[in-house]
């Protein structure tokens, strides 16, 4: 009788599309936690349903594909084959990564604005100070490569100091 229940539950698991490795680990964990076949089957079904919900929540989120993979790997590394636990905390993880993505987008936008700002300073300057500003821009690029925010701050600070000394 136990063999029939075991074979039926394996066939049932294959219908869900869960990987064989996950299937084996869930079943093994179910056997360690419970003694009765029906309890094991209930546990396995619960884990599979949680797994399906987990995948659905992640796929429906507006995260980038890379961050979706990261969220799934992160949850798996924290809770291994406990998909019910993963499913209970997946919304928090999605929210964290959404905040990170939004911050990255804002940072990229700000970097572009700062780059344009630096170029406008140079374009609007007088001809003889253009060379000095180009030199200042090169210095800023050397000090802070690929960080336009720091380059802007550096250029503004130098220009501010030059204006102070001009008035003295």
pLDDT tens-digit map of 55-103: 999 999 999 999 999 999 999 999 989 999 999 999 999 999 999 999 9
pLDDT tens-digit map of 115-163: 888 887 777 776 657 777 888 888 888 988 888 888 888 888 888 777 6
Q: What sign has the CA pseudo-torsion 31, 33, 37, 42?
A: negative
Q: Which residue has the tokens 């049932």?
A: 12
Report if pTM > 0.75.
Answer: no
* Distance from C-alpha of 149 to C-alpha of 50, rounded to nearest angstrom: 44
Q: What angle do CA 35, 90, 41 make, to 5 degrees?
A: 20
Residue 12, pLDDT > 50, answer no
For residue 51, name the pLDDT band (cuts at 50, 70, 90).
Answer: very high
Percent of the chain at pLDDT > 70 equals: 84
């Amino acid at each position: 009788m136990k063999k029939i229940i075991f074979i039926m539950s394996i066939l049932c698991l294959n219908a869900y599309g869960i990987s064989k490795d996950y299937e084996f680990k869930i079943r093994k964990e179910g056997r360690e936690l419970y003694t009765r076949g029906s309890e094991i089957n209930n546990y396995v079904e619960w884990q599979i349903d949680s797994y399906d919900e987990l995948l659905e929540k992640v796929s429906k989120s507006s995260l980038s594909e890379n961050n979706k993979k990261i969220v799934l790997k992160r949850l798996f590394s924290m809770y291994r084959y406990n998909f019910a636990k993963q499913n209970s905390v997946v919304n928090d993880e999605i929210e964290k990564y959404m905040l990170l993505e939004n911050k990255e987008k804002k940072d990229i936008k700000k970097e572009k604005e700062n780059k344009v700002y630096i170029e406008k300073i140079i374009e609007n300057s007088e001809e003889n100070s253009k060379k000095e500003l180009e030199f200042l821009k090169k210095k800023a690029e050397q000090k802070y490569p690929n960080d336009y925010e720091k380059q802007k701050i550096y250029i503004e600070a130098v220009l501010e100091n030059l204006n102070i000394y001009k008035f003295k």
